[in-house]
Chains A and B, each alone.
Chain A
Amino acid sequence: MAVQAAVRPAVRAVPHRRPAPARMVLQGFLIAMCAVWLFPLLWAVYEALRPIGDTTLHGYVSLPHQGLGLGNFSSAWTNAELPRFYLNTLLVAVPGVLVTLLVASMLAFAISQFNWKFNILVLMIFTAGNLLPPQVIIIPLYWVYLNTPLPVLSDNGLLYDQYVGVILIHIVFQMGFATFVLSNYMKTITKEITESALVDGANVLRIWWDVILPLCRPALAAMATLLFTFIYNDFFWALILMKSGNKRPIVSALNNLQGEFFINYNLLAAGALLAAVPSLLVFIAFQKHFVRGLTLGATKG
Chain B
Amino acid sequence: MAETTTSSDPAPAEKTAGAAAFVLRRRRRRYSLLNRHDKLILALMVGVPLAFDLALIWGPTLASVVFSFTNWDGIGALAANNFVGLRNYATLVGSYIFFRPALVHNLIWLGFLALVATPIGMFFAVLLDREVRGTRIYQSIFYLPVVLPLVVVGFIWELQYGATGGFINNAFGLVKNHHIIDWLGDSSVNLLAAVVAASWRHVGYVMVLYLAGLKSVDPTLREAAKVDGADERQTFFRVVFPVMAPINVIIVVITTIESLRAFDIAYIINHGKNGLELLSTLIVNNSISEASLVGFGSAVAVVLLVISLVPIVTFLVNVNRRERA
Contacts and interface: CB of A to CB of B under 8 A. Distances in A.
Given A114-B42, A133-B261, A294-B209, A141 B60 contact: yes
Please classify the interface of chain A as helix (H, G, I), strand (E, B), loop, or mixed, using the class held by over half of its residues: helix
Interface stretch (B12-20, B88-96, B149-157): B149-157
Nearest to B168: A61
Contacts of A251: 149, 151-152
B312 A60 contact: no
Interface in A90-149: 103-104, 106-107, 109-111, 114-118, 120, 122-129, 131-144
Contact of B304 (A7, A8, A29, A136): A136
B219 A265 contact: no
Given A43-B159, A132-B57, A133-B304, A15 B64 contact: no
Contacts of A143: 63, 74, 294
B30 A195 contact: yes
B57 A173 contact: yes
A221 B283 CA distance: 36
Given A172-B56, A276-B152, A136 B64 contact: yes
A251 to B, nearest CB: 5
B308 A136 contact: yes
B284 A40 contact: no
B214 to A, nearest CB: 11
Given A236-B264, A275-B152, A299 B216 contact: yes
A198 interface: yes
A172 B159 contact: no
Given A59-B170, A236-B263, A139 B67 contact: yes
B215 A4 contact: yes
Interface in A31-77: 33-34, 37-38, 40-41, 43-44, 47, 55, 59-61
A199 interface: yes
Contacts of A185: none
B185 interface: no
A47 B208 CA distance: 30
A240 interface: yes
B61 A115 contact: no
Contact of A265 (B34, B145, B162, B312): B162
B298 interface: yes
Interface string B20-50: 0000000000100111011001100110111
Nearest to B143: A291
Nearest to B39: A204
B33 A195 contact: yes
Given A11-B219, A233-B148, A269 B132 contact: no
Interface of B: 1-6, 30, 33-35, 37-38, 41-42, 45-46, 48-50, 52-54, 56-61, 63-64, 67, 74, 124, 127-128, 130-134, 137-138, 140-145, 147-152, 155-160, 162, 165-167, 170-171, 175, 200, 204-205, 208-209, 212-213, 215-216, 218-219, 223, 246-247, 250, 253, 257, 260-261, 263-264, 267-268, 279-280, 283-284, 287-289, 294, 297-298, 301, 304-305, 308, 311-312, 315-316, 319-320, 322-323
Chain A to chain B: the 3 pairs with minimum beta-carbon distance, closest first: A295-B212, A140-B63, A140-B60
